[in-house]
Amino acid sequence: MLWLALHLPWLPLEAVASGAHALPRCVMQHHAGHERVVLLADAAAAAAGVVPGMSLASALGLLPALLPLNRDPARERRLLQLAALAASRYTPQVVIGEQLLELEVQGSLRLFGGLQSLLRSLRRCIDALGLQPRLGIAPTATAAALLARCAAAGAAQARTRAQMQQRLDALPLGEAAPALAELLHGIGCRTLGDVRALPRQGLRRRGGAALLALLDRAYGDAPDPRTWFEPPREFAQTLELMHRADDTPMLDGAAMRLVQALAGWLACQWLGAAAFSLWLQHETRGRRALPPTRLRIELGQPSRDAAQLGLLLRERLSRCTLPAPVYALQLRLDEAVALSGHAAALAFGSDRGGARWHDAGQEQQNFLALLDRLSARLGAPHVQRWAVDADHRPEQAARASSATDTPARAVAAAPQPRPSWLLPEPLRLAEQRGLPLHGGPLRLLHGGPERIEAGWFDGAAVCRDYHVAVGPDHRLRWVFRERHGAGWFLHGLFG
Amino acid sequence: MSSPALPGPPGPLRDAASAPVLGRWADHLWAGARFAAPSQPAVPTGYPALDAELPGGGWPACGLTELLFDAPGSGEWRLLAPALCTLAAARPVVCVAPPLQPYAPALQALGLPLQRFVWVTPPSPADAAWALEQALRSGGCGAALWWGEASTPMLRRLHLAARDQGCLLWVLRPLAARRQSSPAPLRLACTPAAQGRLLVSVFKRRGPAQAAALPLSLPPIALTPLDHAVARPAPALVAA
């Protein structure tokens, strides 16, 4: 077993901060009655001397520009749950704790190319959620959590039992036993190693039973059962914004948090998203309640790559104009298909980075992802494929379809020459002595005319005699005259 | 210098008196009097006369190539069709901002596999450049065509993207662009001429200047009398 614990010391602040402010911020908590005290201060506030436990009045006295935010445990739980979903891509065994996620990663090391590579990928994923974790790695869950709580900015690692024992012995006491800290400090215990050296009976009599149990679990001397986090059956996650958003760029951060959770959920179910929707809940204006706006994204190639899904969603968001301010987002998975084997390995490809792949399958995946990206930004009608249709009428002989659809089966084209460019509407040409004019008098080539007479069955009948004509600039044109009518028309150009 | 002459490609540099002076660097130098040897084999154009005029004997396999035409319908599809058939067989082709509706029956008759062509019609030139760069950088497409007017920095950016990803990019611009400088290593100006020919002037290439424009015979376009073709002279001819 190898446990990876993510401690999120800034979670109360990250859950309520909107990111749009440049002001120093702190999170307040009710303490002993009605007084509000500082629970957590950000770097700018801490630099001015605001420390946890300070009353609001003293904090504002030190730093008048300070923005006090109220702690919101419900939002913290919500965010922690999204993080657990996002982390599900690394292992199905995830435990949610107090500002803490624990992942059992022994079985995932090989898939992700080793612990260091897994950690890099995990850090990127947690970064995208807007969280700053501290990592602890140890063979038992409790030890990993203890190491994570005391870790500095980097990760505290202990791969083997001996390393773990050594690192635990050196841990300061404060984090593990806040209640007994004073007593133990008084008898000269500074670290967990010192406490373990004390007689167990005596410590238990003096109220240290809980501490002893914790130590046993951490050192692996007692069983340490956990309840796994169970991902929901269907993916529909809501995130309320801290401030109403008037413009789409303000939604980006929250949307990306949801996308990370979606990618994690898909990976743990071995699915790929084929279509998903972002619902924007609007504020009510006066008495009128606006229905939520739905942005639906369809993928030609199902994917569970967070970068790809995020990119598509961002492009779609940037094209949308909000009818009213938004206060909440919901991401719902509409359609999913099973995705495994080769495609699944490719879905992790963008996390690995660096390597250039040259196999045909990868190139095709890249191309399908490109089509999704182009359609998301430009709109599906602007990204097309053309195919030949079995019809004699020139306008009906070609058909455009969306590029993300499966290409139609090829139909044999007419044996007669056809122009490579077709005008949107036939252009009426002036005449000179019975011959058409287009940049000068046109000369009809021999072999014509070709009569096209069809369409009597659907009300769009045509009856035209087509010629290939050449002008003084030597360019070839496709011209016709109606059988029952006068005048020449230009219909196409030979490229 | 007494270093012996190494075996290398025959060329003016090899047999000239300068060879002993340059020594082993001769292979790494390009003299303006001979064609540069591209790092990747070129894509044959399908016209041997044109291949002989291009460095490497064909379209460069990666990077930007500029084709100048005065208007759509000057023979551009017949010129590019053989190379496009080869490229599209390997990887898909993206066409950005075509000036008119491409007509599927004609392109299919030229032998192009249409299911491997994607047509992008962006609403603005900025979107066109974005779409093109996405396509080139994706590494999933083998060739791209663009009908549009672009600034030199944009062309340079696209050229680098195409070169890095091993993708061939043709930019089709009006003839007036000939006077502007361009980062494209290969530039051709094409004008239609009599008897279905195309006058191709290769006015920028990594090689000696072209002596005269090359008259290229394109596949002819002619109506073949069919059973159902109307067997009477056109009224216009009667009137004339």
ipTM: 0.83
Least confident of A25-39, A361-375, A445-459: A25-39
User: B178: phi > 0 → left, psi -120 to 50 → alpha, else beta; which?
Assistant: alpha
Full strand arrangement of the beta sheet holding A326-338 = A236-245, A326-338, A271-282, A293-303
Q: Does B80 touch chain A (CB under 8 A)?
A: no
The verdict on a CB contact (< 8 Å) between B119 and A420 is no
What local confidence, expressed as pLDDT, does residue A21 receive? 61
Q: Does B99 touch chain A (CB under 8 A)?
A: yes
A253-282 as b/e: b if 16+ CB within 10 A: bbbbbbbbbbbbbbbbbebbbbebbbbbbb
What local confidence, expressed as pLDDT, does residue A23 receive? 76
What local confidence, expressed as pLDDT, does residue A58 receive? 87
The per-residue pLDDT string of chain B (240 residues; one tens digit each, 9 = 90 and over) reads 344 444 444 444 444 455 566 667 766 777 777 888 777 788 999 999 999 999 888 999 889 999 999 889 899 999 999 999 999 998 999 999 999 999 999 999 898 999 999 999 999 888 999 999 989 988 888 899 999 888 888 899 999 999 888 899 999 999 999 998 999 999 999 999 988 889 999 999 988 888 888 999 988 887 665 555 454 555 554 444
Give the mean model confidence (pLDDT) for residues A235-261: 87
Task: Pick the most confident of A149-158, A391-400, A411-420.
Answer: A391-400
Residue A350 has pLDDT above 70, yes or no: no
Q: Does A398 touch chain B (CB under 8 A)?
A: yes
B78, B135, B236: residue with CB nearest A434: B236
Residue A344 has pLDDT above 50, yes or no: no
Mutate to test the interface with B, among A305, A315, A370, A385 (most CBs of B within 10 A): A370
Taking alpha carbons only, the member of A173, A318, A393 closest to residue B127 is: A318
Q: Which residues of B touch A451 (CB under 8 A)?
A: 228-230
Q: Where are the alpha helices (DSSP H) in A64-114?
A: 73-87
Q: Does A493 touch chain B (CB under 8 A)?
A: yes
What local confidence, expressed as pLDDT, does residue A351 receive? 40
What local confidence, expressed as pLDDT, does residue B121 receive? 93
Name the pLDDT band for A194 (thresholds 50, 70, 90).
Answer: confident
* Domain residue spans of chain B: 1-34, 41-217
Q: Does B166 touch chain A (CB under 8 A)?
A: no
Give the mean model confidence (pLDDT) for residues A375-395: 89
Q: Which two tokens stand for residue A46?
A: 């801490």
Distance separating alpha carbons of residues A102 and A138, to the nearest angstrom: 11
**Cβ pairs A/B, distance under 8 A:** 206
Q: Which two tokens stand for residue A257?
A: 């948090």
Distance separating alpha carbons of residues B215 and B203, to the nearest angstrom: 14
Q: Which residues of B touch A425 (CB under 8 A)?
A: none
Higher pLDDT, residue A69 or A332: A332
What local confidence, expressed as pLDDT, does residue A332 receive? 93
- Do residues B192 and B75 make contact, with C-beta atoms less than 8 angstroms apart? yes
Mean pLDDT value across chain A: 84
Give the mean model confidence (pLDDT) for residues A327-331: 91
Q: Does A422 touch chain B (CB under 8 A)?
A: yes
The verdict on a CB contact (< 8 Å) between B101 and A398 is yes
Distance separating alpha carbons of residues B94 and A149, to the nearest angstrom: 53
Q: Does A349 touch chain B (CB under 8 A)?
A: no
A369, A423, A495: residue with CB nearest B77: A495
Residue A226 has pLDDT above 50, yes or no: yes
Higher pLDDT, residue A287 or A252: A252
Distance separating alpha carbons of residues B38 and B28, to the nearest angstrom: 12
Q: Which domains does chain A have, with CATH numbers?
A: 3-23+66-219 (no CATH), 237-379 (3.30.1490.100), 415-493 (no CATH)
The verdict on a CB contact (< 8 Å) between B140 and A448 is no
Q: Does B133 touch chain A (CB under 8 A)?
A: no
The CATH class for the domain spanning B41-217 reads: alpha beta
Higher pLDDT, residue B84 or A417: B84
- Which residue in A has a C-alpha nearest to residue B78's C-alpha? A495
The verdict on a CB contact (< 8 Å) between B139 and A366 is yes
Q: Does A367 touch chain B (CB under 8 A)?
A: yes
